Structure 1
Amino acid sequence: MKKDDFRQYNLADTVIGHIDKALNNIFCPQTAYRAYPAEQVGEDSLSAEQKKKAAGLMRVNHAGEMAAQALYHGQALIARDPTLKDKLQQASDEEVDHLNWCRTRLQELGEQPSKLDPLWYVGSFAIGMAAGAVGDRWNLGFLAETEYQVVSHLEGHLQNLPEEDKRSRAIVEQMKTDELGHAHLAEDLGAAKLPNVVKSGMKLTSKVMTGLSEKI
């Protein structure tokens, strides 16, 4: 047995681990766990205007997945129930797929992710920790509401994406399915229902993020 097997990880180790994870998520492509949804979808000819429209929406999706990664990491760090930590990690792994799919599609469209991604990550990590600090049921409630709002955004993107952009549509459709599954999982685990004022605040924050990310 190796000496490192007996090491007890302390708070500093945890903090360093999360910083490393944050830097990797923001600046480096990660390994996807599942196949790229657009892999078997042909690339239709898109006009410059259609590419610009699709890229703006996929940049928003990438920023949202960056925020989701940070949110899950912050929630998992504070969560009290070991089972909940495992479920949050599982959902986080699926969000890694989403992050990579959106990044890949942006590259195909000749565009880059939002320059504000580091800001979205830091802010969402803090929100995730705050949600976890008030208790696991509220933590799950915040998670469920976040995912339902994401599903609503993705439905809007499916309406606004160019009809010819089948590759982006395949990605968004799979993301929508996954996000809805995360919301149902949170409810099954005992999510509390959030007050309307909190839901409204979340929608306002999301509106600011999506508005900026589409352009910057």
Structure 2
Amino acid sequence: GGDSFRKRWANALSGIGSMHLEMRRFFGLEMQRLVQAASRRDVPRSLGKRRLTMGADEQLVRRWSAVGPRVYLTTTRKFSAGTSARPDAAAENRFAADAGEREELAGGGQGDSEHAEVAMSESERRAIVHRMLRVNHAGELGARQIYAGQLAVLRGTATGPVIEEMALQEKKHLDEFEKLLCERRVRPTALLPLWNIAGFALGMGTALLGTKAAMACTVAVEDVISRHYNEQVRELLAPEFESEKSLRDTFRQFRDEELEHMHTGVEHEAEQAPMYHALSEVIKTGCKAAIYISERV
């Protein structure tokens, strides 16, 4: 009733205060210090030379999550670019079940003798993997912020523990991708601060509409993310990526966990949210746009 509504708004105002402090970290004097520190780092341009310690690399990636484009502009040279992308040759097979993935992929394109497949170079393979890691890191950051925004409103309610459990899983995903970015010397997307704020705002906004709307947001986001992971798993089944079995298994595991989140949302009456279909389509469109941009920027 009225008490529940007032409690949600009180939690939301507290969350807005937290977001304000976060934005001050983005754009305050701390940014200048981090930019200067990053520009002084002695990082070899060549991937064949010595690597930095993992701790130092992880610090730079985490700072990127906070300050974004300015650090990106001053330190792009410190990471391999990885901006070229290979066309998705298996688009018609994207959503096949795991059991048939390899067979369908192997059979794709047979009989099309006019377009003989050219062997992929090592730099092309690396660019594709870098693109995947970049967009997945951005997606998991956004997912974590969505749940943070929802918890700013719904913490202390009956749904709070469910959201907290999903948020912990998203944090595990994000930590794994931050580690992979450092290990493989992949630059994050320059738009991390934008996804940081947009994710929090989306989570808080849907939570203010009620628990069912928050769960509708979860269902829409996790549907897009799980399908995207599935596309990547299928792409990594190609013979050129035979050496990426560990990465493929990681993507497959995370895909399955995102599907669990989607099913959790359905179980908590997401489809009974006001204007469910319209809300779902708007959120899905936004997620797809974020994926497209993060792969390229």
SS at match of 1:113: coil
Query: What's the counterpart of residue 130 of structure 1?
Result: 205
Report 1:7-26 matches (<5 A).
Answer: 15-16=17-18, 19=21
CA contact (8 A) 1:145 1:199 kept: yes
How far does the alpha carbon of each residue in 1:64-112 deviate from its partner, in whole angstroms, 9 at most, with x for none?
1011011001111112762311111111111011001112222222212
**Residue number among 165, 183, 188 corresponding to 1:113 in the alignment:** 188
Query: What's the counterpart of residue 227 of structure 2?
Result: 152
CA distance in 2, matches of 1:13, 1:196: 27
Report 1:73-84 matches (<5 A).
Answer: 73-79=148-154, 82-84=157-159
How far does the alpha carbon of each residue in 1:138-160 deviate from its partner, in whole angstroms, 9 at most, with x for none?
11121122112211111111122
**Residue number among 211, 214, 231 corresponding to 1:139 in the alignment:** 214
Query: What's the counterpart of residue 251 of structure 2?
Result: 172
Structure 1 residues 196 and 187 mapped into 2: Cα distance closer, same or farther (>3 Å)?
A: closer
Q: Given the alignment of the two structures, is residue 88 of structure 1 paired with residue 163 of structure 2, yes or no?
A: yes
SS at match of 2:187: coil
Identical positions, percent: 24
Structure 1 residues 26 and 205 mapped into 2: Cα distance closer, same or farther (>3 Å)?
A: farther
Instruction: Report how far residue 196 of structure 1 moved.
Output: 3.2
Query: What's the counterpart of residue 276 of structure 2?
Result: 195
Instruction: Report how far residue 206 of structure 1 moved.
Output: 1.7
CA distance in 2, matches of 1:118, 1:198: 24
Query: What's the counterpart of residue 291 of structure 2?
Result: 210
Tell me which structure has the larger Cα radius of gyration.
2
CA contact (8 A) 1:79 1:132 kept: yes
Query: What's the counterpart of residue 5 of structure 1?
Result: none
| TM-score, normalised via structure 1 length | 0.77
Instruction: Report how far residue 189 of structure 1 moved.
Output: 2.4
| TM-score, normalised via structure 2 length | 0.57
SS at match of 2:271: coil
**Residue number among 44, 67, 70 corresponding to 2:142 in the alignment:** 67
SS at match of 1:164: helix
Instruction: Report how far residue 211 of structure 1 moved.
Output: 1.6
Provide runs of 4+ in structure 1 moved above 4 Å.
11-14, 17-20, 22-26
Instruction: Report how far residue 190 of structure 1 moved.
Output: 2.5
Query: Which structure 2 segments of 5+ residues have no match?
Result: 1-10, 27-58, 66-120
Structure 1 residues 50 and 128 mapped into 2: Cα distance closer, same or farther (>3 Å)?
A: same
Query: What's the counterpart of residue 177 of structure 2?
Result: 102
SS at match of 2:255: helix
Amino acid at match of 1:56: R
Q: Given the alignment of the two structures, is residue 57 of structure 1 paired with residue 132 of structure 2, yes or no?
A: yes
Query: What's the counterpart of residue 34 of structure 1?
Result: none
SS at match of 1:83: coil
Structure 1 residues 87 and 27 mapped into 2: Cα distance closer, same or farther (>3 Å)?
A: farther
CA contact (8 A) 1:26 1:66 kept: no
How many residues align? The count is 192
Query: What's the counterpart of residue 37 of structure 1?
Result: none
Instruction: Report how far residue 28 of structure 1 moved.
Output: 8.1
When the two chains are superposed, the root-mean-square deviation of aligned CA atoms in Å is 3.1
Amino acid at match of 2:175: N
CA contact (8 A) 1:105 1:168 kept: no
Amino acid at match of 2:148: H
CA distance in 1, matches of 2:221, 2:159: 17
Query: Which structure 1 segments of 5+ residues have no match?
Result: 1-8, 30-45
SS at match of 1:123: helix
CA distance in 2, matches of 1:172, 1:187: 23
